[in-house]
Structures are given as C-alpha cells and as structure tokens.
Amino acid sequence: MNRPSSQYEYMSLDDFEELLPDKPANEKWELIGGRVVRMMVGARWEHHIIAQNLAFGLRRRLYEKGAGCLVFLETFYMKKKSIESATLPDVMVRCGPMEPGATSADDPTVLVEVMSDGSKARDRFEKWAIYQKLPSLKHYVLVDRDRAHVEAFDRLKDEWGVRILDGLDAALDLPAIGVSVPLAEIYQDVIAA
C-alpha cells in the first residue's frame, strides 16, 4: 500500500480551511492534493511584473470581447474539494458569474504559474497532476521567470497537448477564451527585446 511520505503534512480541504485562520497574516499556504505547502512570501520583482502583465493583458482583451470572464491575480484561491486542493495560482481566469463575496473559485478555465527555480518542480509536476483533474480547466500555462519561454498545456477534447513558446516574437494563444497575448507584452519591462 502506498502511503504519503511522513516528511509532509497531509489533510483534507476542510481541515486546511480550519488551519488557515491560525496562520500569521504574512504567510501563504497551499493545499496541493492534500499536502500542506508553505509558500514563499516576497517573490522577486520580475515574478510580479510578469504575472501583472499577463493578467492585465488578459483582462483587457476579455473586457473588449465582452467575454464574461474574470481574471484573478496571485491572492485569490482556487479551491476544489474533490482534489483536496486550495492553491494560489499566479493568474487565474474564470468565466461566468461569481457569487457575491466569494473568496475562491473551483472552476477555472485558465491557470497560470510563473516559475522560478524554487517553484518549477512543484508547478510542473505536483500542481499539474491535480490541475488536470479539474473538468473546467482548458489551459494550464507555465511561464519561465528568467527567459522568454512559455509552456501551454491545452485540453483537446479529453486529452492534453502541449505547446512550447520561445522568444519575444511568439504569442500565447488561449482558444478556450478566444484571446492571444504576445510574449513581448508578458515580459515587458523584464526582458529587453
């Protein structure tokens, strides 16, 4: 029988939600497939600018289209009981109306993680393993912080495909929401053309 490693703490989403109020306000915590993970606080400025550039680019394009989708940035939870997860994606797109006062969403269409050396394995393997179980998810995007490189995982019917985008001349197309954002815009003020 496979047992989770004893070096990690595991719990249900319900228990995790009870734990959060007891944590200091300056700490960020996630639950990834039942595993409790303390997140880094105070990422490098490049991380924030890339996430902001992408979020603002998506928001503007979705607004212009009248798409009825909202873009959330870094502090809004994606919570899903069936996968025992409460994560803080760097950028999340959710389409459709929101309940007043909601503090999380469980049905994102797009999830984006800006990868650093410290988060790369968790984003590429742990989070991807749970995110692909979300029925609503159509695109999972990994954005490299230190070079113009993006990996886009796209749900095509019931299978996932991957696209690798390199260089500032490439564009991130997200057909499920009908928008495209140039990598030059995503990396603006971070990587020179």
Domain segments of the chain: what residues?
44-186
Question: What pLDDT does residue 160 have?
Answer: 97
| More confident site: 3 or 79 | 79
For the stretch 86-136, pLDDT in tens is 999 999 999 999 999 999 999 999 999 999 888 899 999 999 999 999 999
DSSP class of residue 10? B
Count Cα atoms within 13 angstroms, Cβ side, for 178: 10
CB neighbourhood size of 181 (10 A): 21
CB neighbourhood size of 163 (10 A): 14
- For residue 127, CA distances in Å to 37, 77, 123, 133 come to 11, 14, 5, 10
Rg (CA), the chain: 16
Residue 5 has pLDDT above 50, yes or no: no
Residue 8 has pLDDT above 90, yes or no: no
Question: What pLDDT does residue 1 have?
Answer: 38
Residue 39 has pLDDT above 90, yes or no: no
For the stretch 69-94, pLDDT in tens is 999 998 899 999 999 999 999 999 99
State which H helix or E strand residue 162 sits in: strand 159-166
DSSP class of residue 75? S
Residue 172 has pLDDT above 50, yes or no: yes
Count Cα atoms within 13 angstroms, Cβ side, for 49: 13
Question: What pLDDT does residue 25 have?
Answer: 75
Average pLDDT over residues 26-49: 86
Residue 26 has pLDDT above 80, yes or no: no
Tell me if residue 3 falls in helix, strand or coil.
coil
CA distance 93 to 141: 11
- The answer to whether the CB of 187 falls within 8 A of the CB of 53 is yes
Indicate the CATH number for domain 44-186. Answer: 3.90.1570.10
Cβ-based neighbours of 188, under 8 Å, separated by 6 or more: 49, 53
Residue 3 has pLDDT above 60, yes or no: no
Question: What pLDDT does residue 42 have?
Answer: 67
